[in-house]
């Protein structure tokens, strides 16, 4: 058998990249040469494509997770701003309590055992209306920002007040447990 015949029998490629095989090797039988081009996709190629797509999808899932946690953090900050304005509006309604100093130096901490409205009862001071307002603000902070949130009100003189809210922001990327928001206003 010649070298050319051996190459054909072992699947040699011709000049155009076509794989040829020889059939009918028996001496009394005429030889037939089958030539064909490779068609379709190999299993290795499919597996590599699936691997690349899987890595891409995992990256998208991680991106979505970070985006959701940061959006949650932004929402809590917005709620903190609303809670600050809420107590300021409450103080504008209770000017008698403000003049009596019921809100000066107030520091409320939402109990870690807070579970529902009413769990902050007894944390306020001053007149009955001031206590009710302070207890309600504590419940608002608990329901909107979570247990452990601290709300401080400081009188700066001349009708100026500083509202400081400290909350847990560990859910956000790079957030910490003692994130602080400060709102200053004049009544």
62-120 pLDDT, tens digit each: 999 989 888 888 888 899 999 999 999 999 999 999 999 999 999 998 988 888 887 88
Task: Supply the range of the domain harboring residue 31.
Answer: 3-36
Reported confidence tier of residue 174, pLDDT bands at 50, 70, 90: confident
* Number of domains composing the chain: 3
Distance in angstroms between the alpha carbons of the first and the last residue of the chain: 107
How many degrees, rounded to 5, is the angle at CA 11 between CA 7 and CA 13?
80
Q: 52, 70, 88: which is the final residue of a domain?
A: 70
How many degrees, rounded to 5, is the angle at CA 125 between CA 122 and CA 130?
100
More confident residue, 74 or 26: 74
Kindly give the residue spans of alpha helices, DSSP state H, lying in the chain: 3-9, 43-93, 95-99, 128-145
Q: Do 149 and 60 share a domain, yes or no?
A: no
Residue pair 187/92 in contact (Cβ under 8 Å)? The answer is yes
Is the pLDDT at 171 greater than 80? The verdict is: no
Q: Do 170 and 116 share a domain, yes or no?
A: yes
Is the pLDDT at 40 greater than 60? The verdict is: yes
């Amino acid at each position: 058998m010649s070298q050319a015949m051996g190459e054909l029998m072992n699947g040699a490629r011709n000049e155009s990249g076509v794989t040829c095989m020889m059939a009918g090797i028996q001496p009394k039988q005429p030889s037939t040469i089958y030539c064909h081009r490779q068609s379709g996709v190999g299993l290795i190629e499919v597996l590599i494509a699936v691997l690349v797509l899987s890595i891409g999808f995992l990256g998208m899932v991680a991106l979505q997770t970070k985006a959701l946690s940061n959006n949650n953090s932004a929402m809590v900050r917005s709620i903190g701003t609303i809670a600050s304005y809420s107590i300021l509006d409450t103080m504008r309604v209770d000017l008698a309590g403000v003049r009596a100093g019921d809100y000066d130096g107030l520091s409320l901490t939402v109990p870690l055992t807070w579970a529902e409205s009413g769990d902050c009862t007894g944390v306020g001071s001053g007149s009955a209306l001031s206590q009710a307002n302070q207890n309600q603000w504590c419940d608002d902070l608990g329901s909107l920002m979570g247990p452990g949130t601290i709300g401080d009100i400081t009188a700066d003189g001349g009708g100026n007040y500083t509202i400081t809210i400290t909350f847990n922001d560990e859910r956000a990327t790079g957030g910490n447990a003692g994130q602080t928001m400060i709102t200053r206003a004049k009544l």
